[in-house]
Structure 1
């Protein structure tokens, strides 16, 4: 199944911090098609390519799917996943040394604990020869909440094999994000075995959750290592306006909800400031919100003019934002694959092509002509 597109660079109104400069350029033109690679998926929250080019796919409903040789197999041995509101089975990543250790990592909503409700959990397991084994919970956020919003969650590795993962504020805006003694509204960093790195920023702070790497986040649903700079980049949902791209830095406060470029869904304000000393400004933000989900850097030669760009899916507007970068800043955006559907996840495959997880459709491949 293929769909043809003509990509016209579309510079649309976006908001930038005062340190950024908007640069316009002549539109680029690229003919491409999209091809359905894996069909009949409901909410493909995350997916990762194995060395043999088969794919592990997470369905929000709790199923881990192995797609190989054109067939989908549901993998047994998964933990009990709580499907509550925005929570369920979420992101999945391979260990950078997967070929040697066969480790996979995934996040999911778990009801484990004494409180009713659920919260985001990170698990490591071995996946070898189609079998899941040696499941181990590396981190469980507490307390549980019966609210259904803002579980996060994405996973990324740095060059030292630290694992980063995000948990949203769980709808507790005024308590969780700014309090480092509480889970939620944070980006965490662990060693690949689940232990706490000795240089984590709050390792010596009394009562702090020592896995926290950064705080003041709302609901990050995109995270990737920038292959050109090796920084961990993330994006997160704002409220009404104020979706952000951030570079995640050790111990930094990203401001939610003290500062924001958004307002309440009703249109009323919850803060009057967008900047404050000691709080990070976003690299880039959107107003109106696009509801970002999924993130991938383009570092292959398959797409003329796109190398070095970051791609971000829009759940709200059914397209991918193709963000052009210069000196670490977003200088231009294009809408690509418009009206494709709710984009949940994006990955660059082993073959250098871009693959997109679309709700209600499946995983699609973007093929330049």
Structure 2
């Protein structure tokens, strides 16, 4: 299977399946000398792991990470870093019936069409559990970004019809409720909505917003590898994501040029500022030094207990009730995955920037 490697200068290769023995990732290109422990990685994995709220799958996994290589005496060595997370609470028998049919919204049919074979236990490689490896690698990428003062903050912007009120935004609140919403009132309303959805044996979707502060200007490549294009690729590679927009996003289609352009201005101290940020911090595929802002649309969880229409491999039309343990909403657990994929992309492009100018190369080498 191709497509499990991401990045050029800071490259990761993920492996493992939802109901296999373990999942993991190999990171190549991490500089030597960075302080790194399993606890550093575990903090992010704990934000993603299942079984922590009434709105996540009851599957109980500790998601304890082990560093197998690339770290010595608490520092990265510059050699490949290998991480492993063991699966400990699989219930593969929950999926025995779907071996003969295709679940709506899942990759069952397309995997069969491509490979002529699939691991039906929880979706195998197509399962959202694959993102465990991404989050582990992303935690290392965020440690590198912290060396440059780059901060990534993602949160739940909306769930179903409930959206946060920007006037009530509190960053700490993201970690104070099960839904990762920075607005307590919105979180309470969203929780009530999700309880109704669960009663109907259905699921919900939502929006995640991500804000990056501290990234210097000049990061990104023009033409085919624009920074927003590569961030879009990274975020869309998350299985539940169905759309990405930067800055004013799709609303730009309803604006005039005068409304959408970000006007430049020098402040009283001579610093360059912008009067708006409709570009979302990226112009011409290159960062402009202002906050990068984007949003990701997350689809409702495909696995629902309600009866659905589908087909089986025998060519029959059937009705299917999906068994097993599933999230009624993916959004809160996907927040840290969005942060991870953002971090992995930005580290790769910060390293790329060094090679864009001779003075930067000399500074790095001399």
Higher relative contact order (CA 8 A, sep 6+): 2
State the TM-score, normalizing by the size of structure 2: 0.28
Q: Max radius of gyration: which structure? A: 2
- Which structure shows the higher helix fraction? 2
- Which structure shows the higher strand fraction? 1
State the TM-score, normalizing by the size of structure 1: 0.27
